[in-house]
Chain A
Amino acid sequence: MIGYITRAILLGVPMLFGATGEILTEKSGHLNLGIPGIMYVGAISGVSGAFLYENSCGNVVENMNPFLAVFIPFICAILGSAVMGLIYSFFTVTLRANQNVTGLAITTFGIGLGNFFGASLIKLVNSDMPSIALSKTSNFFCTKLPFADDLGWFGELFLSFDFLTYLSVIIAIIASFVLSKTRVGLNLRAVGESPATADAAGINVTKYKYFATCIGSAVAGLGGLQYVMAYANGCWSNDAFGDRGWMAIALVIFALWKPHFAIAGAFLFGALCNANNYLNGLGVETQELFKMLPYVVTIIVLIFTSMRKKREHQPPAHLGLPYFREER
């Protein structure tokens, strides 16, 4: 049971990163459907950084500096995904292109980039398996907190995770605080609800949109990194990340555009995603049906939130629409 919960949390963290990032972006009025691609790019940037660092240390653990081993992939993932966010915001904010189409193109492009560089790295190491293992870097990422092994189930449930897992929760709480309690958050929400009003109030709409999208993308990219380094133990293989990016976008609606709700939602999604592995007595074919659960639950939540029509549960009013100042 404990194993099931920890696995669920590990599965949920990439979605939590993705959802927090997407909430920040959507609050500025931009529906970024490029998140799945951006998470791939974040993952592969981190993997490339870790790969280069491991190689520069001659693949010997003793030569590696624990701080740099974590810091380099971390920064690479943030930069890689922020650049993708920058491309997306250039097209949708400055060029005012259609957000759905741009987002889908970014997803195609990003998944292509991820798999392309992944395959190139795999070819570089000449391994027999179609994957690349960075277990040394992964070990640094997964350093447990002190006492994790001594405190039994409590230690396993709360202290045994990699630092990105804790970071995801912290970022979600910070994002929630910034959005609801600070001036910057208020301005950002104003931009998403009614950019014309925000503009008239002297808020730099373009700047807010750019920053929200790029920071959101960087946060989402960390989700890709966490998947590779913590969930997959530093093992990258093409297409392994799967559809978690889309789940993250669904989680945004599940969480009603509130990052702190997304924390619980992400862990619930994680639990649903691998429920089929822990339910006894299921045939292989029934397991496949159980894998539908997270999607079905998302659909049900979508329907219920739209049926209840509470004002605070609605998406930003200007979501998906471009803003042009001279338009009335």
Chain B
Amino acid sequence: MAEIKDKKHKREPLFHLVKRDDMKWWAAWLIRIAAILIGFFLVCFISMALTKESLSSIIETMYRGVFGRIEMGSTKMMWRYFQKTAILLCLSIAVTPAFKMKFWNCGAEGQALAGGLAAMICMIELGNVLPYPLLLLVIVLSSIVAGAVWGVIPAIFKAQYNTNETLFTLMMNYVATQIVKYYLYIKGGGSNKINPVAEGNLPVIANNEYMLNVIIVLVLTLLVFIYLKYSKHGYEISVVGESQNTARYIGINVKKVFIRTMILSGALCGIAGMLLVAGTDHSIDTNTVGGQGFTAIMVSWLGQFNPLVMIIMSALVVFLNLGSAKVADSCYLNSSYADIAVGIVILLVVGCEFFIRYQIKFRSTKKEVHV
């Protein structure tokens, strides 16, 4: 009786999901590139609707916002683009080792600010005291240490008591911001601004103030790639990320990996802060990092934890950011338009992972014959 009833009312849903793990890497990337393109054109179409310009002129304006006027071929704009990409890339590769072991470091902002502040203090206090090479060394070391300390505090508590690291690192951002504000009040007096400092700036090579930054970041990217892919530490990080229990069974000291990796992550953020303060602005401000710590998290995800792919992804995000800011600027829209554009594209790319990991199987129209 029950069987008959079952057959009568047997309804299959229109479709169901199946997990797939046989997708070729190139097919996966094809989907991701498609998502990026869809996002890019969606942004373009929204721009068209808002500004009533043609598609080609929107794209041209975006291009102009990034590289300057086409005919003039302004290298200064281009280098500004490379510089911004480099800083975002540096922060992205910094959070990547932590992410790979599923440690959600949302504190890149604060760690970079701590590193930048350390560099700033050295530049102001020791600028006239130490000889230049020694000063540079002190600046680099102190910013690395400051960033690492800012990163390792949450890691110690995570390792010891399993404290929620997402919120801990997030709160550390604001602590760093307030300390920078405090320092600005002390040093800047009433204006709470610090004028650009001439001492202790990074050397200018090839007559280009951004060249050194870009080279340092590219080298670091390569080093992180090798570290994650070919070193024993990198292997341990990926095992911890996959399963902490597995890691324990095969004798990996999970706590040690947490702390070690966060020291690395914080140190890299500290270097990014140092590049911003000593290499770019020669001054500090609570907005020096400007929210890029959060964008870096998304870039790291977009790059699938692969530092080399992140080069492309950070270049893309900065392109979108600068380009849509230019579109907004030339059409008298608010500059927050850039945030909307970046948000849309990132959401689409995050969403497209679904089609890589799952397969939608529709109900077959042919009725099965029950015997």
Residues of A at the B interface (CB closer than 8 Å) are 31, 33, 87, 91, 94-98, 100-102, 104-116, 118-120, 123, 238, 243, 246, 249-250, 253, 284-286, 288-289, 291-292, 295-296, 298-299, 302-303, 306-307, 309, 315, 324, 326-327
Contact = CB atoms under 8 A, between A and B. Distances in A.
Interface string B330-362: 001110111111111011001101100110000
B166 A31 contact: yes
B172 interface: yes
B347 A109 contact: yes
A108 B295 contact: yes
15 contacts: A87-B347, A102-B347, A104-B298, A107-B294, A112-B340, A116-B337, A116-B339, A288-B181, A289-B178, A292-B174, A292-B179, A299-B175, A302-B157, A306-B161, A306-B163
Contact of B351 (A91, A100, A315): A91
Closest 3 CB pairs of A and B: A112-B339, A109-B343, A119-B334
B98 interface: no
A116 B334 CA distance: 6
Contacts of B157: 302-303, 306
Contact of B178 (A114, A116, A292): A292
B134 to A, nearest CB: 30
Contacts of B291: 108
A284 B185 contact: yes
Contact of A299 (B161, B172, B353): B172
Contact of B19 (A91, A253, A327): A327
B254 interface: no
Residue of B171, B185, B301 most packed against chain A (CB within 10 A): B171
Interface of B: 17-19, 104, 106, 157, 161-164, 166-168, 170-172, 174-175, 178-179, 181-182, 185-186, 291, 294-295, 297-298, 301, 332-334, 336-344, 346-347, 350-351, 353-354, 357-358
Nearest to B188: A285
A303 B162 CA distance: 9
Contacts of A104: 106, 294, 297-298
B294 A285 contact: no
A187 B344 CA distance: 33
Contacts, number: 153
B207 to A, nearest CB: 36
Contacts of B186: 285
Given A98-B353, A286-B182, 11 more contacts: A96-B357, A98-B350, A108-B343, A120-B333, A123-B332, A250-B167, A285-B185, A292-B174, A295-B178, A298-B171, A299-B168
Q: Provide the main secondary structure of the chain B interface.
A: helix
Given A91-B350, A95-B354, A112 B185 contact: no
B358 A96 contact: yes
A288 B17 contact: no
Given A295-B174, A299-B171, A306-B161, A100 B166 contact: yes
Q: Provide the main secondary structure of the chain A interface.
A: helix
A160 to B, nearest CB: 30
A97 B353 contact: yes
Contacts of B168: 299, 302
A208 B298 CA distance: 28
Contacts of B161: 303, 306-307, 309
A59 to B, nearest CB: 24
Contacts of B336: 111-116, 119, 238
A120 B334 contact: yes
B88 to A, nearest CB: 13
A112 B347 contact: no
Contacts of A102: 347, 350
A108 B317 CA distance: 13
A288 B104 CA distance: 28
B104 A105 contact: no
B181 A100 contact: no
Residue of B170, B186, B333, B336 most packed against chain A (CB within 10 A): B336
A113 B294 CA distance: 17
